[in-house]
């Protein structure tokens, strides 16, 4: 019988898969029997056990109830999900510096446009102890380093749509926020930059729960990267790229034109100066 996974020595997905197999074998069930009793497809359950597939949390909750294992599988799933998020992010970070075209939508000020002070304030929000201060500083340095691609020659063609929410949710320090708004206005003047604001007046839209980035490389290949609700997806198949490109285009049509967007940001800046 396969032993339970040692989470400290294995990846989260491998640990989850081995634990699934351990619980099934301990219960004396074959994959066929498990499939019949849980009504999940046999091949699907097999892919979960060998780490080829990461299920939804609801599936783990069902199996926890089936095995009477408390929330063991749900806990392992959360670890595995965080690792998947990190892996997707790492791959996105590998592709971003070489992109020739970048289209992005964000609910907040995107990292590429943040000042150092605002970046530090945002990243410090998740800090749980003073011991994590060094980690925050490392993240600030890394994020500031990413901004070099905006000043590269030749630089990528960048289009960023920000929800008005990004401009209304200020950091505590008024001076820091004014400098952030000024930087947005300055960056909007870069020849390679197109900056648009999606106003509240545009109403509800289909990307309200996350961010979207499309990257095109020199050879014409493209990827889509989405973030939201604590998870991330990196997609490179042509169907997904086309679907999200059309989605982005619809959002762009709802946003203010670039010149009006800059004027909008100036108006928000004046409000903070009063």
CATH assignment at residue 209: 3.30.870
Q: What percent of the chain has pLDDT over 70?
A: 92
Residues in a beta bridge with 199: none
Measured in degrees and rounded to the nearest 5, phi and psi for residue 181 equal -65, -40
**Do 120 and 52 reside in the same domain of the chain?**
no
pLDDT category of residue 85 using cuts at 50, 70 and 90: low
Q: In this structure, is residue 190 part of a structural domain?
A: yes
Q: Strand 157-163 and strand 101-106: pairing?
A: parallel
**Do 69 and 109 reside in the same domain of the chain?**
no
**Do 77 and 106 reside in the same domain of the chain?**
no
**What is the tens place of the pLDDT at every residue in 16-52?**
999 999 999 999 999 999 999 998 999 989 989 998 7
As for how many domains the chain has, the answer is 2
Q: What is the mean pLDDT of residues 231-240?
A: 89
Q: What is the mean pLDDT of residues 97-123?
A: 94
pLDDT for 8 equals 45
Instruction: Give the end of a domain, one of 83, 107, 141.
Output: 83
CA distances from 252 to 48, 82, 242 (A): 39, 31, 15
**Do 209 and 257 reside in the same domain of the chain?**
yes
**Do 154 and 227 reside in the same domain of the chain?**
yes
**Do 123 and 198 reside in the same domain of the chain?**
yes
CATH of the domain at 60: 1.10.260.40
pLDDT category of residue 67 using cuts at 50, 70 and 90: very high
Structural domain harbouring 120: 99-273
Q: In this structure, is residue 141 part of a structural domain?
A: yes
**Do 113 and 236 reside in the same domain of the chain?**
yes
Q: In this structure, is residue 4 part of a structural domain?
A: no
Q: In this structure, is residue 19 part of a structural domain?
A: yes
**Do 139 and 223 reside in the same domain of the chain?**
yes
Q: In this structure, is residue 55 part of a structural domain?
A: yes
pLDDT category of residue 130 using cuts at 50, 70 and 90: low
Q: In this structure, is residue 149 part of a structural domain?
A: yes
**Do 260 and 142 reside in the same domain of the chain?**
yes
pLDDT for 247 equals 94
Q: In this structure, is residue 88 part of a structural domain?
A: no
Is residue 239 within 8 Å of 223, Cβ to Cβ? no
Q: In this structure, is residue 109 part of a structural domain?
A: yes
Instruction: Give the end of a domain, one of 56, 83, 110.
Output: 83
Could you give the dihedral angle defined by the CA atoms of residues 41, 46, 49 and 53, in that order, rounded to the nearest 10 degrees? -70
pLDDT mean across residues, the chain? 88
Residue 207 has pLDDT above 90, yes or no: no
């Amino acid at each position: 019988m396969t032993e339970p996974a040692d989470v400290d020595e294995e990846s989260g997905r491998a640990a989850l898969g081995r634990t699934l197999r351990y619980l099934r074998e301990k219960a004396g069930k074959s994959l066929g029997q498990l499939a019949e009793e849980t009504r999940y497809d046999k091949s699907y359950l097999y892919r979960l056990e060998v780490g080829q597939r990461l299920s939804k949390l609801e599936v783990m909750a069902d199996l926890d109830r089936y095995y009477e294992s408390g929330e063991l599988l749900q806990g392992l799933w959360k670890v595995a999900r965080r690792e998947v998020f990190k892996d997707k992010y790492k791959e996105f970070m590998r592709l971003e510096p070489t992109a020739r075209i970048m289209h992005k939508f964000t609910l907040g000020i995107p990292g590429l446009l943040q000042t150092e002070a605002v970046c530090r304030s945002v990243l410090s929000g998740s800090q749980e102890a003073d011991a994590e201060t060094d980690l925050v500083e490392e993240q600030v340095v890394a994020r500031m380093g990413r901004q070099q691609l905006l000043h590269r020659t030749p630089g990528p063609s960048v289009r960023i749509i920000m929800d008005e929410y990004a401009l209304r949710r200020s950091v505590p320090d008024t001076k820091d926020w004014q400098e952030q708004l000024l930087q947005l206005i300055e960056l909007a003047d870069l020849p390679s930059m197109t900056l648009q604001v999606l106003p509240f007046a545009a109403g509800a839209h289909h990307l309200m729960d996350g961010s979207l980035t499309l990257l095109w490389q020199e050879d014409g290949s493209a990827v889509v990267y989405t973030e939201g609700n604590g998870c991330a997806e990196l997609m490179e198949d042509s169907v997904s790229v086309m679907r999200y490109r059309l989605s982005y285009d619809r959002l762009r049509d709802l946003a203010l034109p670039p010149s009006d967007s800059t004027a909008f940001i100036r108006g928000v800046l004046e409000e903070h100066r009063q």
